[in-house]
Amino acid sequence: MIDPTIDPTIDPAAETPAEPHDAEEARSRAFYGRRKGKALRLGQAAAIEELLPRLAVDVSTPGLDPRTLFTNAVDDVWVESGFGGGEHLVETAKLNPTIGFVGAEPFVNGMAKALVSIHEEELEDRIRLHHADSVFLLDALADASIGRFYLLYPDPWPKKRHWKRRFVQKDNLDRIARVLRPGGEFRFASDWAPYVDWALAEVLAHPAFRWTAEIADDWKTPWAGWPGTRYEEKAIREGRTPTYLIFRRA
């Protein structure tokens, strides 16, 4: 039970697990922007204080089998990088009751919102969290240990000088390929057409992945079970067209 009396003025960042010792250097080319936004509401602060430590993944030792993170046996483990407020993470977990989920999100407010939803939906037994850049999580996971990796509406870093901060690039694709088992899927969604083009070029140039699309609807239509996200809603309101890509691990 989350204690709603936790002081909302606490600094959530001070209560979260520390990133690895070289995180400061990595932050100079981090794939996310700001780490903290507006003050948390009472229940959100309590969730950061009480629930996050119970769900946090220890990434200090490489070779982690993610199935061991869950008390009950799961058929597979899926990972979502940068889950925002957790809308997709929570809804997908509800739709797939035999799957374990690991979500990574460095933004404090997004993590707090997701934690409240996880608690309200009673999903603490099937969701684990990493409150930092997903690169650290990927590096900790064992080879061929997950069945699906989601990257949904990542920051497109539109300015050319920031392109090196885009998540989809060869070194991260190497990481994803290593942890995905053969036949596993890398699922990507974005409303930013230049980033979609970038992602397609980068992934198609990587020998470990094959794009599954056969007709235009395969990238214009959300995949089955897609619950939508607030970023998608904003994109559609502002006249941008989302794209949904599925790549299969060879």
- Catalytic machinery residues: 155
- Element (DSSP H or E) covering residue 100: strand 99-104
- What is the per-residue burial (b if ≥16 Cβ within 10 Å, else e) of 198-237? bbbebbeebebbeeeeeeeeebeeeeeebeebebbeebee
Q: Which own/partner contact pairs does 204-211 have at CB distance under 8 Å and 24+ positions apart?
A: 205/170, 206/170, 206/173, 206/174, 206/177, 207/250, 208/173, 208/174, 208/177, 208/249, 208/250, 209/173, 209/177, 209/247, 209/248, 209/249, 209/250, 210/247, 210/248, 210/250, 211/245, 211/246, 211/247
Alpha carbon dihedral 143, 145, 150, 154, in 10-degree steps, equals -40
